[in-house]
Amino acid sequence: MDLRVTEAPASPAEREAVDSVLGPPESGWSGGARTPLDGHVAIGGLSRARDRRRLLLPALHALQDRVGWISSASLGYLCARLDVAPAEVYGVASAYALFRYEPGPPVVVHVCDDVACRAACGGDPTGPIAARFGPAGSALGRVDGRAAVTWQPSPCLGHCEHGSAALVQQAGERGGRATLAPFTADDLGHLVSLLTPERSGAPGAPDGSDGPDPMGGLLDLGSLPVPLALVPQVVAEDVGSAGGPGAPGWTEGPGPRLLRRVGRVDPTSLDAYRAAGGYGPLRRAIELGPTGVIAELKDAKLLGRGGAAFPTGAKWEAVARNPVRPHYFVANADESEPGTFKDRVFLDHDPYALVEALTIAGITTGAEQGFVYVRGEYPLGASRLEHAVGEARAKGFLGSDVMGSGLAFDLEIRRGAGAYIAGEETALFNSIEGRRPEPRNKPPFPVDRGLFDRPTGVNNVETLLAVLEVLRIGGLAYAAVGTSGSTGTRLFCLSGRVTRPGLYEVPMGATLGALLSMAGGVAGGRPLQAVLLGGAAGTFVGPEDLDLPLSFEGAREAGATLGSGVVVVLDDTVDVAGVLERVARFFRDESCGQCVPCRVGTQRQEEVLGRLVAGRPLESVDAELALLTDLDVVMRDASICGLGQTATSLVTSALRRGLVPGVVGNGVTRDKAAAARASGDGEREDGT
Amino acid sequence: MTTVAPGAPGAPVTLRRQVELTIDGQAVTVPEGSTILEACRSIGTEVPTLCYLETLTPVNVCRVCVVEVEGSRTLVPACSRPVSGGMEVRTDSERVRTSRRMVLELLASSVDLSTAGGDVDRWIETYGARPERHGPPALSTERDRARAGEHEPVAVGTAATVSQAVKRDNDQYVRDYSKCILCYKCVEACGEEAQDTFAIAVAGRGFDARISTEMDVPLPDSACVYCGNCIAVCPTGALMFVTEHDLRARGEWDEGRQQVTRTVCPYCGVGCNLELHVQDDRIVKVTSPLDHDVTRGNLCVKGRFGFEFAEALDGGSR
């Protein structure tokens, strides 16, 4: 490949940002100053260039954080440094929502308007913001004579228990991100006021030769208040008193297991973590050896919490036994399913647990290199995890001799950049490799060809944390918790119109009603309209389903899914149509665009729903329903990955339950719906 | 080292294990490693394809080739899935027909398929796709500026399309992305599968995903070397010779009046075969046979576009 890049020179700030990740350029060939030697010596070559492509995403982050956008010149410099074609880098960068390609205000406030906050706020949370500050994209505040702030709506930011949230993204020398939750129009007003004083004449941060940097210091992101973790102090035994013995799937609870340390142990101290039982499981894993650990996981009958419920022991064994080397192990902390915030709670408040669990996974499966892929919207979690990794490394819990075992394991943290699809395991591999976050075709499966085409284990955070518990109490003891088909405990993210929203841990098989009771039931004692179970890719269940046992088999039998443990409570005042439209918009925005059923199907689903909600069906309501059914079939059956295969799930479930405006539930005539509309009965006709 | 073509006298005999499967109830035996598509074609069963091409690694993104495989939760792409012993494949079940119909309908309702060829029209008819039921097309324009994760909804009652202005920024070929089904073939041909130039890639995501140079710069500012290998693999006419594009615009393009002459490229010594498409004594397009040992359908800028001299000579002789 003859690399052709723009001749415009990157600014010193841009070069500095890229060099902060890649180091200084080695020669004129890779963007450095030309020297006579360059005509005679080539450094690196293709294989090294391939090896460095994995630094693409971190380098794009560095540019975004430092300069606020990715210019043509900075793209050229980055490409010269990595020996990757500019078109490819643009293709990668433009697949993520947190990168920009044109200059704008240095502070961008992403305000969540997704389903959980929508339910909690009783409408679109960005409504009051738009009313006071103008529509999304409005220029607010002034710094150095330029607009300082703008706002835009955002998909779920994973702070659902607070009922509202915003991600503040700032460019400049103090560039970076911080989350504010809860977040109201007043909070945006406060941010704007911090950035409003005209600072003309105040020296910007010098960045070398170009004089003052207009995007120098702005907000001190570190001084912004850290959102609290809402983990109600309700222990799992309470399931008994709430659901009552004899309730379907009722099990004597063991007390909080995964949540044991959250909110109680200093998340920034390895010593505190160890004093609270940390690194006991790793010691045990070293004693047991890979075969022993895998046997414990099999005894525990632990199933993956990522959605597919694949047996963890079997997955680890397949990686461990694969003769191809090297192996990799990846922790998927890219939770982006609307309504999900469990990974965030652990990253923020128990980061060592994830480091320890991933270390166990690594030494068990023969991987010496691990990755944690953290959502780009979790700045606090990423920094706490980074701190934890550094401390673990310094104290011999990571590195060439883990806990004196002679085994090597280390891990790298990768930050996502605003792409739900990157949570799909093979898209996540592509993202780490510096490629577009597009899912790969399966087979081959990751245990055979995963990250860098090598055998790779990948688990989500909750599964890895459960491994700690398995090793702490033993596989058989673990299997005694929960139901026979779904062992152990499960985390549930309660949000919306519930009295005490937060992260709950209950034994598998506890009923939905018991879980809601633990959380104090519907806020204000209002009637329950529906529960959004499992996330945007989940289903609605109704007030008549409170006996639903929350286990893999229980959900499956009811035609529902536990998904990522999302429980968004919708009372009778919540506008379900608005929720559905938001979900349709979510999938339209988050599809990677690779396959036709999902790329065009998500667009069409949004359109049909828009017509139904507006009461303007194209031919007839029947025709629109037939269209939705066809979309559901082709997307479920012919999409490449789970995103497309589940993108119609919630709308289909709402149709079945009569929650879609203008449409009564299954089996009830549509004529009635039409008649109701004709008689001016309102646009909505709820089946509840 | 000598190279001997497979099957030629003296070629080493390689024994590929044979695999037995059934397709629509019919027993089929094909060599191990064949795809379902190859197995179907071996018995004359038609499987529609759009993003597939013999000379490129299957990306299986269009999903029009999906078939039902016993035991599989979802349909599987025939173009890329290797056969396995005892596999039971159904290519014409209701499930398969529904998905194919919908894929065609989704494409036809969002993309201009007017130059995609007769097969596509026939499949739309055969499977009963009704693109019009998605509503009248909405015209989009600023697709190249779309940002990941946000979009403006189209007017209620209209169907979003990929329509946009034709890109004409060089003398060789025209890019009309209103006709792009995003099959990835041009990206493959430009990049690692043939040309190793990487002038274009897929950018953006979801319905806004598009083929683009970096920051959508015009081709002359990109790495493009005008080999035209992207044109050769484009299944819908989104990429087209300027000559063909202009003749079509004037309503004068007529394949019935064209003669295709196979010859050898006169420029260098590689020996690439050319197919000169000639209409009214003028070369209107140059291709190379996909099955040619040397080119596998690929050419360089000289073979693809350097034909003006032939007309100059011709003109001179007259």
Residue B134 forms contact with A (CB below 8 Å): yes
Please name the member of B106, B135, B221 whose beta carbon is closest to the beta carbon of A600.
B106
Q: Tell me the residue type at A475.
A: G
**For testing the chain B interface, which of A2, A83, A94 should be mutated: the one with the most B CBs within 10 Å?**
A94
Q: Tell me the residue type at A390.
A: G
pLDDT of residue A45: 67
Residue linked to tokens 């504010």 = A180
For chain A, give the mean pLDDT: 88
Residue B189 near residue B258 (C-beta atoms within 8 A): no
Residues 482-501 of A with CB under 8 A from B: none
Backbone phi, psi, residue A376, to 5°: -65, -20
pLDDT of residue A209: 35
At A544-581, the pLDDT tens digits run: 999 999 999 999 999 999 999 999 999 999 999 999 99
Backbone phi, psi, residue A152, to 5°: -155, 155
Least confident of A508-512, A514-518, A680-684, B184-188: A680-684
Annotated domain spans of chain A: 12-93, 107-199, 270-477, 489-571, 576-678
Residue A64 C-alpha, separation from nearest chain B C-alpha, in angstroms? 15
Residue B54 C-alpha, separation from nearest chain A C-alpha, in angstroms? 18
Residue B212 forms contact with A (CB below 8 Å): yes
The CATH code of the domain at B173-317 is: 2.20.25.90
Does A176 have pLDDT greater than 50? yes
B109 CB neighbours in chain A (<8 A) are 600, 604
Does A44 have pLDDT greater than 70? no
pLDDT of residue A491: 95
Nearest CA in chain B to A438: B205
Mean pLDDT score, B195-205: 96
Cα separation, B191 vs A285, in Å, equals 46
State the number of CA atoms in the 13 A half-sphere of A231 facing the CB: 23
Architecture of domain A270-477: 3-Layer(aba) Sandwich (3.40)
Strand locations in chain B, DSSP E?
A: 18-23, 26-31, 66-69, 76-77, 88-90, 137-138, 159-160, 173-175, 201-203, 210-212, 239-241, 258-264, 273-279, 282-287
Does A213 have pLDDT greater than 70? no
**Angle (deg, nearest 10), helices A649-656 and A576-590:** 160
- Contact yes or no for A639 and B102 at CB 8 A: no
Residue B71 forms contact with A (CB below 8 Å): no
pLDDT of residue A478: 94
pLDDT of residue A77: 94
* 3 state DSSP class of B89: strand
Please name the member of B80, B110, B207 whose beta carbon is closest to the beta carbon of A588.
B207
A588 CB neighbours in chain B (<8 A) are 151, 206-207
- Contact yes or no for A91 and B203 at CB 8 A: yes
At A86-126, the pLDDT tens digits run: 999 999 999 999 999 999 999 999 999 999 999 999 899 99
- Contact yes or no for B206 and A599 at CB 8 A: yes
Closest CA to B97 of B69, B68, B71, B60: B68
- Contact yes or no for B197 and A101 at CB 8 A: no
At B75-107, the pLDDT tens digits run: 999 999 999 999 999 999 999 999 999 999 999
Residue A540 forms contact with B (CB below 8 Å): no
Q: Tell me the residue type at B142.
A: E
Q: Tell me the residue type at A668.
A: V
* DSSP label at residue A14: H
Nearest CA in chain B to A609: B156
Provide the token pair at A268. Answer: 């920034």
Nearest CA in chain B to A637: B74
pLDDT of residue A676: 46
Does B232 have pLDDT greater than 50? yes
Q: How sure is the predictor about A234, in pLDDT bands with cuts at 50, 70 and 90?
A: very low
A558 burial type by CB count under 10 A (0-12 exposed, 13-18 middle, 19+ buried) = middle
Residue B194 forms contact with A (CB below 8 Å): no
- The dihedral over CA atoms of A365, A370, A376, A380, expressed in degrees to the nearest 10, equals 100
- Contact yes or no for A599 and B107 at CB 8 A: no
Q: Tell me the residue type at A371.
A: F
Does B56 have pLDDT greater than 80? yes
pLDDT of residue A249: 38
Measured CA to CA in angstroms, residue A407 lies from A297, A312, A362, A397, B29 at distances of: 21, 22, 10, 10, 49
Does B268 have pLDDT greater than 70? yes
Closest CA to A463 of A301, A595, A604, A677: A301
At A591-603, the pLDDT tens digits run: 999 999 999 999 9
Q: Tell me the residue type at A228.
A: L
Secondary structure element (H or E) that encloses residue A575, with its range:
none
Least confident of A254-263, A419-428, A613-622: A254-263
Task: Encode burial over A506-540: b for 16+ CB neighbours within 10 A, e otherwise.
Answer: bbbbbbbbbbbbbbebbbeeeebbbbbbbbbbbbb
Residue A308 forms contact with B (CB below 8 Å): no
The CATH code of the domain at A576-678 is: 1.20.1440.230
Provide the token pair at B32. Answer: 């191990």
* DSSP label at residue A436: -
Closest CA to A422 of A99, A601, A641, A581: A641
Mean pLDDT score, B215-242: 96
Q: What is the ipTM of this complex?
A: 0.94
Residue A629 C-alpha, separation from nearest chain B C-alpha, in angstroms? 11
Does A675 have pLDDT greater than 90? no
Mean pLDDT score, B56-77: 96
Provide the token pair at A275. Answer: 């004093």
* Bridge pairing between strands A502-507 and A205-206: unpaired
Q: How sure is the predictor about B16, in pLDDT bands with cuts at 50, 70 and 90?
A: confident
pLDDT of residue B313: 66
Q: How sure is the predictor about A7, in pLDDT bands with cuts at 50, 70 and 90?
A: confident
pLDDT of residue A5: 78
pLDDT of residue B8: 52
pLDDT of residue B10: 54
- The dihedral over CA atoms of B156, B162, B166, B171, expressed in degrees to the nearest 10, equals 170
CB atoms within 10 A of CB A222: 10
The percentage of chain A sitting over the pLDDT mark of 90, rounded to a whole number, equals 75
Closest CA to A468 of A580, A359, A552: A359
Mean pLDDT score, A650-678: 66
The CATH code of the domain at A489-571 is: 3.10.20.600
Does B142 have pLDDT greater than 90? no
B217 CB neighbours in chain A (<8 A) are 72
Residue B80 forms contact with A (CB below 8 Å): yes
Does A205 have pLDDT greater than 70? no
At A484-497, the pLDDT tens digits run: 999 999 999 999 99
**For testing the chain B interface, which of A50, A596, A630, A648 should be mutated: the one with the most B CBs within 10 Å?**
A596
Annotated domain spans of chain B: 18-133, 173-317
Q: Which fold does the domain B18-133 belong to in CATH?
A: Ubiquitin-like (UB roll) (3.10.20)
Cα separation, B65 vs B48, in Å, equals 5
Does A673 have pLDDT greater than 50? no
Does B233 have pLDDT greater than 50? yes
Residue A418 forms contact with B (CB below 8 Å): yes
Does B140 have pLDDT greater than 70? yes
Q: How sure is the predictor about B13, in pLDDT bands with cuts at 50, 70 and 90?
A: low
Please name the member of B77, B98, B199 whose beta carbon is closest to the beta carbon of A633.
B98
Does B30 have pLDDT greater than 60? yes
Please name the member of B109, B200, B205 whose beta carbon is closest to the beta carbon of A95.
B205
* 3 state DSSP class of A344: helix
pLDDT of residue A197: 65
CB atoms within 10 A of CB A100: 18
* Bridge pairing between strands B137-138 and A539-541: unpaired
